[in-house]
């Protein structure tokens, strides 16, 4: 079973057709068909079912795809590690993280790492917490950074910092509010919230529910930048992670609101690693820097 057969198989799955896979790999379609046939012959089981022009994975195909992705990424990591031995100081680090980490926490850290390691290539892949864990399990990233603790037998989770949740408003909007809001005051405010069903929205809803507040949600968005924009424009208040509003608070574009009786709540940002894995020097160096800053500039509490 050749490595190229597995790469071609993955490309067919990801492109959804033999024709597009051939184009992506700069091969002829008969060559792609021949490689998939050779792989099926080797495994002695069909990997695809074909209905007209539609191609679907069989249950065996699903299983092989999971392994093939991991094998492909493992070979890439091996080549990268050997490359670092041939050329010390070079290398490649691929980071998987949730969107808020990628936007608000990583930039300064990546800039520092790049200054210290100018020949190391850095790639960041963002998704939600579940997608980040999946990328790590499939070998698509070297490490993951999530905003919720994760328990998995194949992963090691290391807490980095607590990210408090803050009630914020624009300075102009806050002028018309008491210096110390009651829970009733907060319940009456129009709230710009994260989209319903998202993990962050469930966290904020639970926090408010615990003190008997049913939020007066007037707008919902699937990203923190849009929420902050609406709040800065005076459309209401929002519950946001401190990491997402840090620069806005420092610049005076947003103001934290004090609410009597509202319990302190925070998200635990954690580093996720595959257990018992040999890590290339560049990846190990980034992990050391990340952990060394976990109680420094990264801390938002």
Distances in Å between the Cα of 178 and the Cα atoms of 222, 257, 258 are 30, 9, 9
Share of the chain above pLDDT 70, in %: 97
Regarding pTM above 0.85, the answer is: no
CATH architecture, domain defined by 3-74: Orthogonal Bundle (1.10)
* Parts of the chain belonging to CATH 3.40.190.10: 89-162+268-292, 164-264
pLDDT for position 299: 47
Q: Under CATH, which number does the domain 89-162+268-292 receive? A: 3.40.190.10
C-beta atoms surrounding 67 within 10 Å: 11
Q: DSSP character for 87?
A: S
Question: CA 117 to CA 6: how far, in whole Å?
Answer: 33
pLDDT for position 150: 86
Does domain 164-264 sit in CATH 3.40.190.10? yes
Give the mean pLDDT of the chain.
Answer: 91
Band of pLDDT at residue 269, cut at 50, 70 and 90: very high
| Average pLDDT value for residue range 249-265 | 95
- Give the list of residues 6+ apart from residue 156 with CB closer than 8 angstroms, or none: 272, 273, 274, 275
pLDDT for position 70: 84
* Parts of the chain belonging to CATH 1.10.10.10: 3-74
**Does residue 38 carry a pLDDT above 90?**
yes
pLDDT for position 300: 43
Band of pLDDT at residue 298, cut at 50, 70 and 90: low
Band of pLDDT at residue 174, cut at 50, 70 and 90: very high
**Does residue 64 carry a pLDDT above 80?**
yes
Distances in Å between the Cα of 67 and the Cα atoms of 9, 47, 124, 168 are 11, 13, 23, 46
């Amino acid at each position: 079973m050749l490595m190229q057969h597995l790469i071609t198989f993955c490309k067919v799955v990801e492109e959804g057709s033999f024709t597009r896979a051939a184009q992506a790999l700069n091969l002829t379609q008969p060559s792609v068909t021949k490689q998939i046939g050779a792989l099926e012959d080797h495994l002695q089981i069909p990997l695809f079912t074909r209905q007209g022009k539609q191609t679907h994975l069989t249950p065996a195909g699903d299983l092989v795809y999971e392994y093939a992705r991991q094998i492909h990424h493992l070979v890439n990591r091996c080549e990268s590690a050997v490359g670092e031995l041939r050329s010390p100081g070079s290398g490649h680090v691929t980071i998987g993280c949730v969107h808020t980490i990628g936007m608000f926490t990583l930039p300064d850290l990546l800039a520092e790492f790049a200054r210290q390691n100018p020949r190391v290539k850095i790639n960041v892949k963002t998704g939600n917490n579940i997608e980040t864990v999946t990328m790590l399990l499939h070998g698509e990233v070297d490490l993951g950074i999530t905003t919720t603790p994760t328990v998995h037998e194949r992963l090691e989770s290391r807490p980095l910092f607590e990210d408090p949740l803050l009630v914020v408003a624009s300075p102009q909007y806050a002028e018309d509010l008491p210096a110390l809001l009651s829970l009733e005051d907060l319940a009456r405010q129009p709230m710009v919230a994260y989209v319903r069903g998202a993990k962050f929205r469930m966290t904020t809803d639970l926090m408010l529910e615990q003190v008997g507040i049913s939020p007066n949600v007037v707008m919902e968005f699937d990203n923190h930048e849009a929420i902050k924009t609406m709040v800065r424009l005076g459309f209401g208040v929002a519950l946001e992670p401190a990491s997402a509003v840090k620069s806005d608070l420092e610049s005076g574009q947003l103001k934290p609101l004090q609410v009597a009786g509202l319990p302190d709540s925070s998200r635990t940002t954690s580093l996720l690693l595959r257990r018992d894995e040999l890590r290339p020097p560049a990846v190990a160096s980034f992990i050391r820097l990340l952990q060394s800053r976990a109680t420094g500039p990264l801390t938002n509490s």
